[in-house]
């Protein structure tokens, strides 16, 4: 864990990396369409974000966790982090009630001739909220 | 080294303010809750407050205790978030704090500490430049629109669409970034080149704040710039 801190790679904006996406869907509910919803949006930026941008940096951390998950799909800890975030998003942002069935997926976009070539990388099992 | 220490303390002060603000968010949702290493939320908040106070104290007067607290809290926050909270900015903050602590503990090693900070900063640009020039997508200007349009951290702005939709402009900006990063080691040649390169660096990081919201990177890298300027000055490097 500390190796990354001690020996940073400094490979910023490396095109060989995959850009992650995070989607969720609620199954079998009248209140929610049975479609994947993109839930990875950066918060709004303001002039004061130069000094103080906590939600932006939290979003950045979540993206880093997704990056790690794409590189290590078996990493149970990263899966749990993403699952916790998805549960929070369903309840707090989508007002989804407990007892609903949900599922999330992690996608990866690769650079391909100016287009976003997005593919599903990890699809969670259907789980009760 | 005092300027480097002061700037990194200011960076840590802002980082801790953000982390403390996030405590109210984590009360509702803490996806990283299983990684607290046995410490509860109150102790975590206390560590952040200690680090915040330490950063203010070091800003006023550098101390071994203050720098040690900031260094340990940076390590602990990184561990809490599974390796780092904010990637590169955490890494740079850690290395600058470590160098500042070394310089304060062993004043005769101050130049080594300064050199280390400057080397990390110069390397960060140079390696990022190498990575980009090796990529055909960066060389032909197609990578920049890809990151601006599709990277998760990219914010909505009319400028990004204007930039991304113009292949010629993207090509020019891409090559400006590549050349700037690859030539950054030249900043150590003279005080003038150091001032030019760190000024361009500051503009570059402000651009990253505008397009990607990476505000922590701005202050972390800004803290390393005095080390580059001092090392580039022959009066400092040549006569001591």
CA distance B190 to chain A (A): 25
Strands A19-27 and A101-112: antiparallel
Copy the structure tokens of residue A65.
Answer: 């966790």
Q: A118 - beta bridge partners?
A: A109
d(CA A78, CA A83): 9
Instruction: For residue range A36-49, list pLDDT tens digits in order.
Output: 999 888 888 888 88
Average pLDDT, chain A: 83
d(CA A64, CA A95): 26
Q: Is A76 on the interface with B (CB under 8 A)?
A: no
Q: What is the mean pLDDT of each run of 10 residues along chain B (240 residues)?
A: 93 94 80 64 86 95 94 88 82 94 93 94 94 91 85 78 88 95 95 95 94 92 95 66
Predicted confidence at residue B239, as pLDDT, reads 45
Torsion of CA B58, B119, B131, B174, to 10 degrees: 70
Is residue A32 predicted with pLDDT exceeding 80? Answer: no
Decide if B70 contacts B55 (C-beta within 8 A).
Answer: yes
Eight-class DSSP state of B184: G
Instruction: For residue range A96-120, list pLDDT tens digits in order.
Output: 877 888 999 999 887 765 566 788 8
Which residues, other chains included, contact B60 with Cβ-Cβ below 8 Å and sequence gap of 6+?
none
Interface test with A, best of B14, B30, B87, B202 (most A CBs within 10 A): B87
Predicted confidence at residue B82, as pLDDT, reads 76
Question: What is the interface pTM, i.e. ipTM, of the complex?
Answer: 0.85
Instruction: For residue range A69-78, list pLDDT tens digits in order.
Output: 888 888 888 8
Predicted confidence at residue B79, as pLDDT, reads 82
Predicted confidence at residue B53, as pLDDT, reads 96
Predicted confidence at residue B240, as pLDDT, reads 43
Higher pLDDT among residues A85 and B150, named by residue: A85
Contact B213 A49 (CB under 8 A): yes
Contact B87 A64 (CB under 8 A): yes
Is residue A58 predicted with pLDDT exceeding 80? Answer: yes
Predicted confidence at residue A116, as pLDDT, reads 65
Secondary structure class of B238 (helix, strand, coil): coil
């Amino acid at each position: 864990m500390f190796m990354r801190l001690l020996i940073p790679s400094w490979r910023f904006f490396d095109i060989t990396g995959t850009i992650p996406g995070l989607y969720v869907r609620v199954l079998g509910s009248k209140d929610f369409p049975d479609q994947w919803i993109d839930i990875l949006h950066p918060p709004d930026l303001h002039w004061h974000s130069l000094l103080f941008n906590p939600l932006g940096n939290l979003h950045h951390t979540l993206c880093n966790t997704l990056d790690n998950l794409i590189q290590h799909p078996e990493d149970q800890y990263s899966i749990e982090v993403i699952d916790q975030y998805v549960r929070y998003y369903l309840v707090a942002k989508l007002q989804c009630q407990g007892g609903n069935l949900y599922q999330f997926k992690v996608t990866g976009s690769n650079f391909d001739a100016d287009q976003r070539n997005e593919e599903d990388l990890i699809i969670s099992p259907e789980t009760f909220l | 080294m005092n300027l480097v220490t002061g700037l990194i303390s200011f960076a840590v002060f802002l980082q801790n303010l953000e982390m403390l603000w996030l405590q109210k968010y984590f009360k509702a949702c803490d996806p990283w809750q299983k990684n607290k290493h046995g410490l509860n939320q109150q102790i975590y908040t206390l560590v952040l407050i200690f680090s915040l106070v330490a950063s203010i104290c070091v800003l006023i007067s550098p101390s071994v205790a203050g720098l040690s607290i900031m260094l340990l809290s940076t390590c602990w926050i990184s561990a809490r978030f599974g390796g780092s909270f904010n990637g590169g900015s955490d890494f740079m903050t850690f290395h600058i704090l470590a160098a500042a602590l070394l310089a304060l503990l062993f004043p005769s090693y101050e130049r080594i500490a300064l050199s280390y900070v400057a080397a990390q900063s110069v390397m960060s640009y140079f390696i990022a430049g190498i990575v980009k020039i090796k990529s055909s997508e960066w060389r032909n200007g197609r990578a920049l629109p890809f990151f601006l349009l599709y990277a998760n951290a990219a914010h909505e702005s009319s400028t990004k669409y204007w930039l991304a939709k113009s292949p010629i402009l993207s090509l020019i900006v891409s090559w400006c970034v590549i050349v700037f990063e690859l030539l950054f080691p030249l900043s150590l040649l003279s005080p003038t080149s150091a001032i030019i390169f760190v000024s361009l660096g500051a503009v570059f990081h402000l651009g990253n704040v505008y397009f990607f919201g990476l505000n922590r990177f701005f202050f972390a890298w800004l803290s390393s710039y005095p080390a580059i300027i001092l090392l580039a000055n022959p009066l400092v490097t040549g006569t001591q």
